[in-house]
């Protein structure tokens, strides 16, 4: 083998080795690119899932905030209406014609009595609850089998309409203001249940 053939063989072997190394490098590069593409695709999918989840959470948060604002506005409006309704109710009860007012007081007193021995305390300016009305209640209590010994107290208080039944230290406030306050509390509890659920 002469020198030229040896050189050609060496060049051919070198070229074959270079081709082999180039193919391996290209294959390695292709494998690495495929691995990176797959990883990028995974990251893209994860990012989309996270973005969608974040968007859903933000949407849920915005909806909850909007519902709360609506509920607050609704409650404020109901409170305003309640204020008006109870102010009108107080006015109407205080301005009832005398006979209707007396009938109402007889009914309330008869229902509020516990022992039948209580003193009846009335407002400083009350003229419609008098001894005659107390006698009617006592008679009604006696007929229904209870004690009818209510007495009109000399003590007067600032009550507006209605009365207080007192026996010793125990007082039962049956003023119109107290009755309306109790009714309002009960109504507000019902409204809150309706508005915010149980």
Q: Which of 165, 168, 171, 117 is nearest to 141 (CA)?
A: 117
Strands 151-157 and 162-167: unpaired
> Using an 8 Å Cβ cutoff, are 130 and 141 in contact?
no
Write out the CATH class of domain 97-189: alpha beta
Domain spans of the chain?
Answer: 1-95, 97-189
Question: What strands, in cross-sheet order, belong to the sheet with 162-167?
Answer: 151-157, 119-123, 162-167, 170-175
pLDDT tens-place string over residues 64-99: 888 888 878 877 887 788 788 778 878 887 788 888
Q: Quick check: 198 pLDDT over 60?
A: no
Rounded to 10 deg, the angle between the 176-196 and 3-94 helix axes is 160
Instruction: Show the tokens assigned to 196.
Output: 């915010």
pLDDT tens-place string over residues 40-64: 888 888 888 888 888 888 888 888 8
Half-sphere exposure of residue 98: CA atoms within 13 angstroms, side-chain side:
6
């Amino acid at each position: 083998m002469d020198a030229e053939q040896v050189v050609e063989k060496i060049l051919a072997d070198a070229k074959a080795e270079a081709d082999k190394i180039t193919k391996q490098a290209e294959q390695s590069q292709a494998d690495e690119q495929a691995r990176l593409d797959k990883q990028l695709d995974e990251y893209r999918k994860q990012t989309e899932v996270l973005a969608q989840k974040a968007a859903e959470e933000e949407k849920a948060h915005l909806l909850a905030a909007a519902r709360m604002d609506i509920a607050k506005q609704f409650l404020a409006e109901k409170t305003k209406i309640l204020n008006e309704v109870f102010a009108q109710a107080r006015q109407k009860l205080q301005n009832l014609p005398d006979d209707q007012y007396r009938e109402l007081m007889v009914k309330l007193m008869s229902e509020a009595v516990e022992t039948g021995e209580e003193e009846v305390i009335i407002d400083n300016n009350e003229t419609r609850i008098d001894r005659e009305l107390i006698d009617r209640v006592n008679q009604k209590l006696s007929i229904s089998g209870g004690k009818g010994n209510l007495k009109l107290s000399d003590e007067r208080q600032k009550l507006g309409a209605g009365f207080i039944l007192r026996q010793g230290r125990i007082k039962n406030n049956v003023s119109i203001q107290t009755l309306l306050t109790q009714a309002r509390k009960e109504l507000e509890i019902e409204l809150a249940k309706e508005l915010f659920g149980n």
